[in-house]
Amino acid sequence: MFRSNNYPLLIFTGCLLLLIGACSTQSEADWTILIYMAADNGLNNAALADINEMEAAVFSDRIRVIVQIDNNADNSEPGAFRYHIRADDSPQITSPVITSLGEIDSGDYLTLRNFIQWGYSRYPARRQALVIWSHGNGWYNYFNKFCPDHESGSSISLPDGDLFNALYNTGFWPDLIILDACHMQTMEVLAELNGLASYVIGSEAAVCSDGFPYDDILSGWESVSSPASLAVQIVQQFYESYLPGGSQNPTNNFVPVSCSAAAMNKFSELYARLNELAEDWLAFAGAEYFSAAREGCLEFNDLEADVDIKQFFTLLLNQEIPPELALQAEALLEQLELCFIAQEYIDLPADDIATACLWFPDTAFDFNNLLPEYRRLRFAQSRWDEFLVEFLR
C-alpha cells in the first residue's frame, strides 16, 4: 500500500490540476463557431451591430459562439476583445468579455491563425465553423483588400498565401467557413481553401454592410443535422433576408446580392476539368465563340474583371462550338452543380449565375498589371493564365 506523509498535499495538488484543466478547456459541445471580425477599418459600427444581432439569436449551450473583434481607434473602446455570445435583447453588447487583447493587427494572418487555434482548443466541439468578417475583394490585393487593418496598414493577402497559411496545419478542420466580405466566392479563393474545410459559403457580389443575418442563422443552427444541410440553409437565409421586407432589407428595395455554398470535396474535380479545357483549347482561345461568351457575362468586383464561371460556360454552349468543346463544357457545368450545393441571387441582371467568379479580364492592361500576383495563387497551377494570355493576344 502506498504511504506518504505528503498524501493530503498530493490530493490537493491533483484537485488543483483538475480545476485548472477545467478552467482552461471547456467540455465538448456540438459546435464551436469562431467569428473573426477584422473591423479596424470603416466597418466597425457594422461589426458591433452584427454582434448585437448574434445576441438576439436563440440557441442552446450545445453551440458556442466566440467572437474576436478588432475595433478601430475611433471606437469608444478601441483595441480587440473576445466575447462569448450570450442571448440578450439590449441595444448594447452585454456578452461576457473573455479577454481584452489591446491593440492587435487583424490584417496579419498569424492573428487569425492564433484565434483559430486558441478558440478550438479552449472550446472543443464535435464540429467547428469559422466566420471571417471584414472588407474583401476576392484574391485582389487592390482597392478594397481582405481584412484590412487601418492601424497597421496590413491586410490578408491571398497571393502571399496568407489565407492558406492561416488555416493550414492548425490541427483543426472547419466543417464550415463563411466569408462575410465582398466578392470572396471565387475560384481563386476556393483554391486557397481547398483541403482546409468541408463547405465554404460566400458571395461573388458585393455584400451589404449588414452582412449575413446572424440572428436567423444562429437561431436555426440546431434545426439541421449535417454541415451540408446547414450550408444550404444559411444560403437560403441570406437570400430571404435581402428580399424586399426581409430582416436585412426592411426598406422593401431590391438589393443585388448573391450567395452560394461550395462542397469542397468536389472542388478538385471542378478545378481539373477547367484546367483540362484550358489546356486542350489553348490554341483556340482567341476564337470568336470564346469572345462572344465573355462579352455576354455580367462583370464582378471593383475592377469588373471577374465573371461567373457558370454563366460563362452556359453562354459558351449557346455559341456554335466544336462538339469536343461542347462535351467538355457540359461536363464542367455538371461538376459545378455537384460542387455548388446551394446558389441564390436577387436582382442581378443575368441568369445562370451565383456559383463562383473566375478571373477573366477583357483588357490586356488589367491582365498584365495583375498577372505576377495571380501566378502566386494556388489556382495558377492550372493552365488558365496561359489561356488568358492567348485570349487577349
Q: Supply the pLDDT for residue 169.
A: 96
Torsion angle, alpha carbons of 293, 205, 106, 209, to 10:
160
Rounded (5°) CA angle 146-71-219: 80
> What pTM, to 2 d.p., does this model score?
0.92
Q: Supply the pLDDT for residue 24.
A: 57
Q: Supply the pLDDT for residue 366.
A: 86
CB-based contact 184:138 (threshold 8 Å): yes
Looking at domain 26-265, its CATH class is alpha beta
Write down the domain spans for the chain.
Answer: 26-265, 268-391
Say which residues have a Cβ less than 8 Å from residue 121's Cβ, sequence separation at least 6: 25
- Residues shown for the chain: 393
Tell me which residue of 261, 156, 258 sits closest to 207, measured CA to CA.
258
Say which residues have a Cβ less than 8 Å from residue 18's Cβ, sequence separation at least 6: none
Question: Would you write out the chain's pLDDT as a tens digit for each of its 393 residues?
Answer: 333 344 344 334 444 433 444 445 678 999 999 999 999 999 999 999 999 999 999 999 999 999 999 999 999 899 999 999 999 988 889 999 999 999 999 999 999 999 999 999 999 999 999 999 999 999 998 778 999 999 999 999 999 999 999 999 999 999 999 999 999 999 999 999 999 999 999 999 999 999 999 999 999 999 998 999 999 999 999 999 999 999 999 887 888 999 999 999 999 999 999 999 999 999 999 999 999 999 999 999 988 999 999 999 999 999 999 999 999 999 999 999 999 999 999 988 887 888 999 999 999 988 999 999 999 999 999 999 999 999 999
Unique residue bearing C-alpha cell 462542397:
263
Q: Supply the pLDDT for residue 229.
A: 98
CB-based contact 385:343 (threshold 8 Å): no
The number of CA neighbours under 13 Å toward the Cβ of 107 is 19
393 vs 389: CA distance, rounded Å: 6
